[in-house]
Amino acid sequence: MQRPLIAVTPWYDYEKGVTYIKDGYCEGIIEAGGLAFLLPAVAGEDLLDEAISRFDGFLISGGPDIDPAYYNEVNLPYNGSISPVRDQMEICIVKKAVLQGKPVFGICRGIQVMNVALGGTLYQDIQAQVKAENLLKHSQEAPKWFPTHEIFIEKDSRVWNSFMRDTVRVNSYHHQAVKDIAPGFKATSRSPDGIIESLELENHVFAVGVQWHPELMWRKNADFLRLFSDFVDSCKKL
C-alpha cells in the first residue's frame, strides 16, 4: 500500500519572508508510515480547495496565537503574536476537511484552531483568565521532550486507545487553551487544573487535537508516536 499523502501547515516569518516547519512533525508522520508535505503559506480558497482534494489528511501544527476576532472577542493585552495568513488557511482547511470526512490532527495551536474553526472559543491567557488554586505551569522551562505534568484521559477515546491508560505525563508549551468547546467536539483529556488537553470530534474518521507536543516527545518515548500512527492509519482507510 502506498503511503498516504499528508499536508502539514507551515510556520511563517513575516520579517524574513520564510516558510518553515519545526522538527518532529514531518518526521513523526514519516515514521508512522505517511508521506509528509509542507504546505505553502497561502490563504487563497481555490488553492486550498485543490490541496484538500489532493491530500489524504492534514496536520495543523503549533505556532502563534489566533486572532480572537474569529471567536468574537477583542484582542486583549495578553494575547500574543498573530499570523493572519495561517489563521485564514488553517481555519479554512479544518472546516472543509472535516466536512469532507478527511482526517485532521491538531497539535498545540492546532487544537485551538480546530476548536475555533468549528465554533468554539479560547482563553487568551491561562494565567490571566483561569481562576484555579492549583493552576499549573503550562509554559515549561525544561527540555522540550521532558514531560512536566499529568493529564487524565477519558476511556473509549482515541487518546486513551493510543496510550491504553488513564494518566500520562506530557510536555507543555502554551499560554492559551480551549475555553468553550465547539459543537460536536468532546474533551477527552484534561490536566489536573481542568485545562482541556485533547478534543475529539464525534462520529468522524479522525479529528483529534492535543494541547501538548507529541512531535517533541516520540523520539524519547515511542508511546507518543501512536497518535501519529493512529492518524496515518486513518488516512490510509480513505
C-alpha to C-alpha distance for 170 and 161, rounded to whole angstroms: 16
If we measure between CA atoms, which residue out of 130, 124, 121, 125 comes closest to residue 183? 121
Please report, as a single letter, which amino acid is at residue 68: P
Is 108 annotated as catalytic? yes
C-alpha to C-alpha distance for 103 and 206, rounded to whole angstroms: 5
Say which of 26, 90, 92, 108 is annotated catalytic.
108
Pull the grid cell for residue 9.
501547515
Helices (H), the chain: 25-31, 45-54, 84-99, 109-117, 126-129, 158-163, 226-236
Q: Measured over all CA atoms, what is the biggest interatomic distance in the chain, rounded to whole angstroms?
A: 51
If we measure between CA atoms, which residue out of 87, 4, 93, 5 comes closest to residue 47? 93
C-alpha to C-alpha distance for 192 and 195, rounded to whole angstroms: 7
Is 200 annotated as catalytic? no
Say which of 90, 138, 215, 235 is annotated catalytic.
215
Three-state secondary structure string covering 17-28: CEEECCCCHHHH
Is 92 annotated as catalytic? no
Per-residue CA distances from 16 to 22, 61, 63, 81, 87 (Å): 16, 20, 16, 16, 19
Say which of 138, 149, 174, 213 is annotated catalytic.
213
User: Would you please indicate which residues are annotated as catalytic (active-site) residues?
Assistant: 108, 213, 215
